[in-house]
Amino acid sequence: MAVRHNRISQKELKRRLREEIHSRITLSFYKYFPVSDTTKFRDELYHSLQSFGVFGRIYIAPEGINAQISVPLPELDNVEKYLRSVDSLSGIRLNQAINDNGKSFWVLKIKIREKIVADGISDPSFSLEKIGTYVDAATFNRLSDEDGTVIVDMRNHYEYEVGHFENATEIPSDTFREQLPMAVDMLKEKKEKNIVLYCTGGIRCEKASAYLKHHGFKNVFHLDGGIIHYCNTVRELSLPNKFHGKNFVFDDRLGEKITREVISRCHQCGQPADNHTNCRNEGCHLLFIQCDKCAIKFEGCCSVECQKFIQLPEKERGIFRKGINKGRNVFNKSRKRLTSSTLNENHDEMLTPAGNKHLPET
């Protein structure tokens, strides 16, 4: 069964999405399981989900599936029944987005990857069968109140910056593959303590729990369903909420408000702000935090240089962008690549690499 490629322009797809009369809901899910034929599994999934009008972004790999989908509300029950009818997906948790109108996607894309979460692990003896212990919201709260418990954030630095759990240890990095060996090193003196890992939806902390156990950690736990399921649960059960700020998400929203607190600052002026954006200069596309005032002042750009660049004629901009490497480009305070005081002065390196808008690792 061949998967058809979309031939409709993005502009037209977005227009159609805006004109839909029904509501949508965003669901995310993942599962580690062996996929023997990734192409066949991808094609069957695409054909079925497309028939329900589902949009979204799904990764298939020999180690499992990682998905974020936008479902028409009238088809929600049918989609849930279908997913749970697939033998390899039985028992999956479907996390519902917290603050969302369901319209962050306008097309369905299912891609085959080497791994659903890039981890850099090459050790053939590593196994995902030996993971840590799942904990629910109530157990997470109880463990976090106990002396000696270490709460560890297994997300990227820019996710941690806008929101995290109380007393959480940050593993300051750009990618999950960097984080894993860093976590082992940072926690090596705490191997006998209770280590509780968390991430956005559970996929990264589950693999990280197996990695820590592989390296001799004994008491490893990970938050079932991640931040998304935790926040939905504490609301439903009126439990104390220990997450503060905003939950970064890998779609066009770039964040879900969990509490009203703003715990991060604008990377340009230093005022409280938690809105991530991508620089309007497509030759930069830096992911950074910008307040409303700076967004107006710099016209959505991360610097004066980029602001000047977007004012050039399109022909000149196209010549400059030609051949630019499309790598990750995010503002990283942990490496002091730039600081809020030098964001507009030291911009040479940001004018050369162009970054992906945001790379899903949920």
Would you name the residues annotated as active-site residues?
199
| Nearest residue to 38 (alpha-carbon basis) of 62, 56, 4, 66 | 62
| Nearest residue to 264 (alpha-carbon basis) of 252, 276, 279 | 276
| Nearest residue to 80 (alpha-carbon basis) of 242, 200, 90 | 90
* Other C-beta atoms lying within 10 Å of the C-beta of residue 300: 17
d(CA 317, CA 321): 6
Give the contacts of 94 (CB within 8 A, at least 6 positions apart): 27, 28, 29, 80, 83
Structure tokens at 74: 């009238």
- Is residue 279 within 8 A of residue 288, CB to CB? The reply is yes
Structure tokens at 42: 């991808």
Q: Please give the backbone phi and psi of residue 112, each rounded to the nearest 5 degrees, phi first.
A: -95, 125
Burial annotation 155-177 (CB, 10 A radius, 16+ → b, else e):
bbbbbbbbbbbeebbbbbbbbbb
Q: 109 has which bridge partners? A: 57
d(CA 146, CA 219): 14
